[in-house]
Amino acid sequence: MTAQTTEETTEQATGKAAGTTTSFVPGPLDRTAPFYVAGHRGLVGSAIWRKLQAEGFTDLIGATSAELDLKDREAVFAFFARTKPRYVVLAAAKVGGILANNTYPVDFLSDNLRIQVNVLDAALAHGVERVLFLGSSCIYPKLADQPLKEEYLLTGHLEPTNDAYAIAKIAGILQIQAVRRQYGLPWISAMPTNLYGPGDNFSPTGSHVLPAMIRRYEVARLTGAESVTNWGTGTPLREFLHVDDMADACLHLLEHYDGDQHVNVGTGTDLTIKDLAHQVAAAVGYQGRIEWDTTKPDGTPRKLMDVTKLTNAGWTARIPLAEGLRTTVDWYRQHQDGIRQ
């Protein structure tokens, strides 16, 4: 197939000339329109898929990385030509913890840039009406004030352990803004805080703090361990959003938000890692001692999103942490065999 890449064909596809304002009309998306969720098997993508199904969307499109490698530009353009999505959420990315980001920075930069550029270019060439690009809180400068406001983007140096990933995500935000400026399409970006929930990565090496704790406390309960030792002092503050809330926020933004600036998605509240450890222990039913190895590093003292913009757009988180932890533990217990390693 021939990919549409010239400005002329893109303008025909979008029906928009360069420099026009966006054509956004707030309100429900068409439940019968083809809707592509890129990364629909991941933590975020699968939650968005469930949400869209529950909301009555009847033409959901997904492809695994084995079926469609989003790094393959020609394949991505052919996929868009065949499926003709009207809406796209880009929740596909190479994602990992500090260790993976720090060890494989070129992969995190190059893979993510290619995935984004291919999907967004194909979406533009095919005149996709609404696109939601997902980034992450690591886009903000390492020493930015807390809570993190959207306007802090590009005001300082990034955290070096994940700067390659962050630069790819920042490029994605810029690409969305550039499409808006040049073609007037009402595309948007959202930056989630730490997410957790069904479908999370519980692997001992690749997981984030919350799923790693669930695994550790569950193993301790099953083996009857007298104590569990956590890294650091337990004093750093972190924010956690259930992925079903995230999916709800994504649909809300697609139906109600139009703006150049990306939108932070979080709860707006944080807790200490120590509090989290006690809540996780309670959720799995572990009754042993909780200890701290203070010779290990703590990481950033605080990481909290400012969610004023999201609140002003009419959305707030609903799932309390204790409830979210309970259902995540249930999911983990039911999916022991199929979890990612």
Tell whether 148 is in a known binding site. no
DSSP state, 129?
Answer: S
165 is catalytic: yes
CA distances 245 to 147, 249, 289, Å, are 20, 6, 32
Out of 192, 197, 266, 268, which residue is the one contacting ligand NAP (CB under 6 A)?
A: 192
CB atoms within 10 A of CB 252: 17
Window 195 to 214, contacts with ligand NAP (CB under 6 A): 195, 208
- In angstroms, the CA 89 to CA 50 distance is 13
> How near is the Cβ of 7 to ligand NAP at its closest, in Å?
27
Q: Could you tell me which residues are beta bridge partners of residue 238?
A: 271, 303
Q: Minimal distance in Å, beta carbon 108 to ligand NAP? A: 10
The answer to whether 83 and 34 have CB atoms below 8 angstroms apart is yes
Which residues sit opposite 89 in a β-bridge? 37, 132
Peptide bond into 28 cis (omega under 30): no
225/339 with CB nearer ligand NAP = 339
Q: Is residue 20 near ligand NAP by the rule CB under 6 A?
A: no
DSSP conformation class of 161: G
The answer to whether 107 contacts ligand NAP (rule: CB under 6 A) is no
134 is a contact residue toward ligand NAP (CB under 6 A): yes
Binding string, residues 301-340; x marks residues near ligand NAP by CB under 6 A:
----------------------------------------
**Rounded CA separation 324/337 (Å):** 21
Residue whose tokens read 């290990």: 296
Site for ligand NAP (CB under 6 A): which residue of 43, 185, 250, 276?
Answer: 43
Is 44 a binding residue for ligand NAP by CB under 6 A? The answer is: yes
- Interface with ligand NAP includes 42 (CB under 6 A)? yes
Q: Which residue has the tokens 């353009």?
A: 77
Q: Residue 169 CB, nearest distance to ligand NAP (Å)?
A: 7
Nearer to ligand NAP, 192 or 268 (CB): 192
Q: What are phi and psi of 161, to 5 degrees?
A: -70, -20
The residue (of 44 and 220) whose beta carbon lies closer to ligand NAP is 44
Catalytic residue among 140, 165, 196, 286: 165
136 interacts with ligand NAP by CB under 6 A: yes
Contact stretch for ligand NAP (CB under 6 A) within 62-70, 276-284, 301-309, 321-329: 62-70
Q: 139 phi and psi, to 5 degrees?
A: -70, -20
Q: Which structure tokens are listed for 6?
A: 């010239």
Burial level of 108, CB count in 10 A (0-12/13-18/19+)? buried
Q: How far apart are CA 73 and CA 102, in angstroms?
A: 27
Cβ of residue 218: shortest distance to ligand NAP, in angstroms?
Answer: 20
Which residue, among 327, 238, 333, 332, has the nearest Cα to 276 in the 3D structure? 238
Report the residue from 92, 209, 281, 304 that binds ligand NAP according to the rule CB under 6 A: 92
Q: Is 333 known to sit in a ligand binding site?
A: no
- Specify the stretch interacting with ligand NAP by CB under 6 A; choose among 6-14, 61-69, 214-222, 324-332: 61-69
In angstroms, the CA 318 to CA 20 distance is 37
Residue 21, SS3? Answer: coil
Smallest separation (angstroms) from ligand NAP to the CB of 182: 23
Residue type, 341: Q
Q: Measured from the CB of residue 287, what is the shortest distance to ligand NAP in angstroms?
A: 28
Residue 40, marked binder:
yes
List active site positions. Answer: 165
Residue numbering of the annotated binding site for NADP(+): 39-45, 134-137, 169, 192-195, 208
Give me the residues that bind ligand NAP (CB under 6 A), please: 39, 41-45, 64-65, 68-71, 91-95, 115, 134, 136, 192, 194-195, 208
